[in-house]
Every structure is written in structure tokens, then in C-alpha cells.
Amino acid sequence: MNPVLYLKQLILICLLLQGCSSGKSEDKESQEATEVNISKSVFGALPDGRSADLYTLKNANGMVVKISNYGGTITYWSAPDKEGKYADITLGCDSLQGYLKGVPYFGALIGRYGNRIANGKFTLEGKAYLLAKNNGVNALHGGIKGFDKVLWEATPVDGEEPQLMLKYISADGEEGYPGTLTTEVTYTLLKDNSLKIEYSAATDKATVVNLTNHAYFNLSGDMSREILDHEVSIKADKFLPVNETLIPTGELKSVSGTVFDFNKSTKIGTGINNLKDQQIVYGKGYDHCWVFSDTSKTLKSVAKVYEPASGRLMEVLTTEPAIQFYSGNFLDGTIKGKGGIVYKHRSGLCLETQHYPDSPNQSGFPSTVLKPGERYNTVTVYKFSAN
């Protein structure tokens, strides 16, 4: 063959080959790019006509978390059992209407102040503030219309670890709290089956802030069952005893020798009905705040919940100093949840990472005051595995 022709043919073959291979990698890239790990659908209409959305986050393992921008509410959260089978492990409603009817904070973001403030009032920088009272004489979880009942501005971020960024601007004076508070919460579904929740806030006037999430867990995946066989461990040597309206007395009490000692993994049912303990009587079970022995503000493992039948294990990590362990004592069978299942007494438990309740009135507690120019930043992770 003519050497020039041979060379030309060789170049042509090379170009063709190159074209094919680059075409292949483009195909792969475009395939990866079109794989969507977060999608959006309409959740329903609010009474004022605004539409609430539902975002579905999924990771490569098959874990799915659904979050609405109404209340930043987690409506669905699947986790694997020891056979690798995924099931929904959180309480909630099938539709927005269910949440609008009124539910005890299922899966919702809580703010601006999670937990109770005594008599719905506090004084800050010499000025007295009166809050909306929605729990007897006290203010609970941000008031009558807390962050669980507002529509957040949502920005989905797609990727292998999909994110939902939520933002809400709470007006100065909302529910009685001072200062315009701009709050941002980012949910990220990680590759290792963790859901990371990052909270951030800034104010234009001194105020108090204590943000958390109020998911109810039943790791059996069967919400008609009680959570009494779940085994809990909390790395806390102390808890906060409360009065009859569940306001901390101010004492940090040793858990040692009490049914509040969860340093070793213990079945919830073991001590929950020990009515000889006045604190169990006041809480109608567990409804208390545990103070972590590790007081560092870094992200640390603080609690675990294990459900023996399914083998599901949930680990809680946080930068916060405390956790409210609430054993669903006020669930009373009057709410029908997802799939028409009746949520009976103690069919879900909450582990709400936070600062101590009533801190604005308790000088001995770590401060929850946020001032202009400062930034509130906390992180909590719920990590799932099975064994």
C-alpha cells in the first residue's frame, strides 16, 4: 500500500476510535448527571392558598427521606434492617391535611425555642418579653405558630449526597420573641445512611434560640407497636429534674442509681413505669433532658437506639450539650397516621438534641442568647445501620 495512503487510513482509524471512546465517556457522564437523587412533588395547599412541596432524597443504598418545606417536616424515613430490608421508621401523616389538622410535631423543625420556657416569659438585656403560651402556663416549641407550622423557602441540591436547604425569616416579635431571626437548616442524606441536619441562625436584635428536630422513631418499622423493647443508651451522667409542668428545677441530678441511667444500653420498658420515681410521675414516663458528660462543642456520638427484632440501630451525634428523650407518653390513640395506623401510647420516641429547656430563665444553664453579629451553628446526625 502507498505509505501516504496507509498513514491517512491510520489517522482516520485513530480519530474514529477516539471519537467512540470519548462518545462512551460522554454517555457515562450524561448518565451520571441525569441520575437525580432529589425530586420534588406537590404536597398540598395551605389554608392561605400557598402550595407546600415534598422533596424526596435518596442515596445509592436505597435509603429514602422525604421532607416537606411545610415545617421542614420529615414525613418518611427508611432504614435497613439486619436483612438489608428498608422500612419507614418514623411517625407522620400521609398528606399535608393530616399535619394541618394538628399533630404533636411529627418530624418537624422546632424553633425558635425548642422545649419549654416557664410561664411564657423571660427578661433579656433588662427588657421583659411575653411569649405565646401553648402548653398550660408555659411556652413550648416556639409557640402557637412555631417553625413547625411555617412554610420554609426550599433549595434542593442534587448529588450523591442530596441536600435540602431550608430558610425561614421570623419577624421581630413573632410569637413574642425579639429580633428578626433568619434561620437556615440543611438536611443532607449521606452515603453512609446518615441524615445530617445543620442549623444556622442570625438575628438583628438580642434574642434566644434553641433549634431541633422532633422526629418520632419506631425502629421496628411497625408503628402499631410500642417502643418499650427498644434499647437506649445516652452518654450522660446527669439529667434535669423537672417540676409538675415539666420545667427544670435548675438542678443537674446524677443519673446514678436511678431509672434515668442509660450509660449502659437499657430497654426503655425497664424503668418507664417506675412510679416510685417522682420524675417518672411528672414526665408520665421519660420526658426529660439529659446533659452529656462530654461537654465539648464538637460533633460527638451521644446516644444510640437499638431495636432487637429488626436489628436496626440508630446513632445520634451532635454538637449540642443535651438531648430531650421523650417516650411518646402523650400519644393516646387519637391520631391515625400513615397508612391509617393508630398511633397509640408510646408508639414512637423522640431524641431531640438541644440546649437545656428554660435556659432564658435559668442563669446556671448554658446561654441560649444570640446577639447581632453572632451566628448560631449546630449540627446533629442520625446514623442508621443494622446488626
Residues with active-site annotation: 214, 352
Size of the site for ligand BGC (CB under 6 A): 9
Cβ 246 to ligand BGC shortest distance, Å: 6
Cβ 384 to ligand BGC shortest distance, Å: 22
Calpha distance 201→192 (Å, rounded): 27
Q: Is 320 in the site for ligand BGC (CB under 6 A)?
A: no
Termini Cα distance of the chain:
69
* DSSP per position, 1-56: --HHHHHHHHHHHHHHHHHHHHHHHHHHHHHHHH--SEEEEEEEE-TTSPEEEEEE
Q: Is 118 in the site for ligand BGC (CB under 6 A)?
A: no
Ranked by CB distance to ligand BGC, the top (closest) residue is 104
Cβ 106 to ligand BGC shortest distance, Å: 9
Which of residues 6 and 330 has its CB atom nearest to ligand BGC in the complex?
Answer: 330
Which of residues 154 and 335 has its CB atom nearest to ligand BGC in the complex?
Answer: 335
Q: Is the peptide bond before 50 cis (omega within 30 degrees of 0)?
A: no
Binding mask 82-111 for ligand BGC (x = CB under 6 A): ----------------------xx------
Q: Is 326 in the site for ligand BGC (CB under 6 A)?
A: yes
Q: Is 352 in the site for ligand BGC (CB under 6 A)?
A: yes
Q: Is 287 in the site for ligand BGC (CB under 6 A)?
A: yes
Calpha distance 367→321 (Å, rounded): 11
Q: Which residues pair with 380 in a beta bridge?
A: 197, 318
* DSSP per position, 345-385: TTS-BEEEEESPTTGGG-TTSPP-EE-TT--EEEEEEEEEE
- DSSP three-state, residue 99: helix
Contact 287, 308 (CB under 8 A): no
The single residue among 91, 211, 246, 280 that binds ligand BGC, judged by CB under 6 A, is 246
**Nearest to residue 269, comparing CAs of 286, 283, 257, 254?**
286
Q: Where on the phi/psi map is residue 363: left (φ > 0), alpha (ψ -120 to 50), or beta?
A: alpha
Cβ 331 to ligand BGC shortest distance, Å: 9
| Segment interacting with ligand BGC (CB under 6 A) among 44-52, 265-273, 304-312, 323-331 | 323-331
The single residue among 12, 330, 332, 364 that binds ligand BGC, judged by CB under 6 A, is 330
**Nearest to residue 278, comparing CAs of 259, 256, 252, 304?**
259
Binding mask 187-226 for ligand BGC (x = CB under 6 A): ----------------------------------------
- DSSP three-state, residue 306: strand
| Segment interacting with ligand BGC (CB under 6 A) among 72-80, 125-133, 194-202, 322-330 | 322-330
The single residue among 193, 218, 279, 324 that binds ligand BGC, judged by CB under 6 A, is 324
Which of residues 36 and 137 has its CB atom nearest to ligand BGC in the complex?
Answer: 137
What are the start-end ranges of the H helices in the chain? 3-34, 96-101, 278-283
Cβ 73 to ligand BGC shortest distance, Å: 14
**Can you give the binding site for ligand BGC, defined by CB under 6 A?**
104-105, 246, 287, 324, 326, 330, 350, 352
